[in-house]
Amino acid sequence: MVGLRRVLGLTLVLVSSLAFGGCPEDKKLPTEVQHDAGQPPPDPTPARDAGGAVTPPDPVDAGGPDPVTDAGTTTSTAPATGAAIASGDSVFFVGNSFFASWDRVLPDWVAAIGKAVTPPITIKTGSYIVPGNQKLSWFLKQADSQNALKSKQHKVFVIQPEEREPVDDTANFKQAVRDWNKAVVASGAKTMLFMTWDLSAEKGTTFFKKLSTSFDDIGKELGIPVIPVGLIYDDCNKAPFAGEQAGSYWLTGGELHQTETGSAVNAYATFGMLTGVNPLGAPINAPANTNSPAMLKYLSDMSWTRVSPRLKP
């Protein structure tokens, strides 16, 4: 069992490490991090622009606008639409190693984007991140989660289930989301549900369709936003950045966990859903990010294509 705990966004501590999201990794998370706050066949001839981006094919769900795919980067942002938080608000993250793979800790990356956009958006963060296969209902029972709820210091709780739970244990997954949302609302905060992604081991199956449907069904039932990360991964898998192969699951390197490119998608999508602001490829000055500006712009634009239709006016 691995335990990672961060209290009110100040410190992330590693207790022990054997598995991450159900499989071992060859690198461990740092002992402490301080911070402020089914698959289509490859398309052999995708249309690309100078930045290496391509026009995505028809998505799994209802389509949104085409992404902006120029190679440049900018940090100027349009006025927020459908923002769930304001500058200075706190967000609490609950999940497994999909939130913290190696040195790439999602709350830190989201806060870093907030610092980089213009005008800056201060995002305070706290988290309870426990790599492993714990179900979403387990997280709600833990003292760290209960203490965060009782503190009434957080505006939004971003919750993430075990990666197979929405498909393999759908009824209990949905009930856990209902229970979480009830507790979050009672604390005066709002719930956001983080959609996980397709697994390379499930290539050619209906796993991802079932997964995304499970997330969106419970989101619609409860009226809570779903951060469409899995759909963005699917879009990028179908219409990859220059040099990447379509259908290769390149955002996870064909494995379970996100690579640094996947981490950027996770951060841009979460930031966009929280703030209602298009990050426009804003730099991510956070540990273990070596993505190029062109790559960040592509990933940001692909993320915003999925996020923007989900923002409530």
pLDDT confidence band for 254 (50 / 70 / 90)? confident
Supply the pLDDT for residue 80: 61
Q: According to the model, what pLDDT value does residue 42 have? A: 35
- Average per-residue pLDDT for the chain: 81
- How far is CA 299 from each of CA 13, 39, 132, 164, 229, rounded to the nearest angstrom? 29, 19, 27, 25, 11
In the prediction, which pLDDT does 101 show?
Answer: 84
Provide the CA 15 distance to its chain's centre, in angstroms. 24
* Model confidence at 53: pLDDT above 90: no
pLDDT at 41: 34
Give me the mean pLDDT over the 258-271 stretch. Answer: 96
Confidence of residue 48 (pLDDT cuts 50, 70, 90): very low
Structure tokens at 38: 């089914």
Lowest mean pLDDT among 42-46, 246-250, 271-275, 284-288: 42-46
Pick one of 3.40.50.1110, 3.40.50.620, 3.40.190.120, 1.10.238.10 as the CATH number of 4-310: 3.40.50.1110
pLDDT tens string 198-227: 999 999 999 999 999 999 999 999 999 999
Q: What per-residue confidence (pLDDT) applies to 81?
A: 67
**148-171 average pLDDT score:** 97
Tens digits of residue pLDDT in 229-251: 999 999 999 999 999 999 999 99
Q: Say whether pLDDT at 5 is over 60.
A: no
CA-CA distance, 238 to 233, in Å (whole number)?
9
Number of Cβ within a 10 Å radius of residue 91: 26
Question: Which alpha helices (DSSP H) does 143-259 contain, by range?
Answer: 143-151, 165-168, 170-186, 207-222, 229-238
- pLDDT of 175 > 50? The answer is yes
Domain boundaries, the chain: 4-310
Q: What is the pLDDT of residues 79-121, one digit of tens each?
A: 466 799 999 999 999 999 999 988 899 999 999 999 999 999 9
Report d(CA 190, CA 309) in Å as an integer. 19
Q: Is the pLDDT of residue 282 over 90?
A: yes
> Which DSSP state fits 8?
T
Q: What is the pLDDT of residue 312?
A: 79
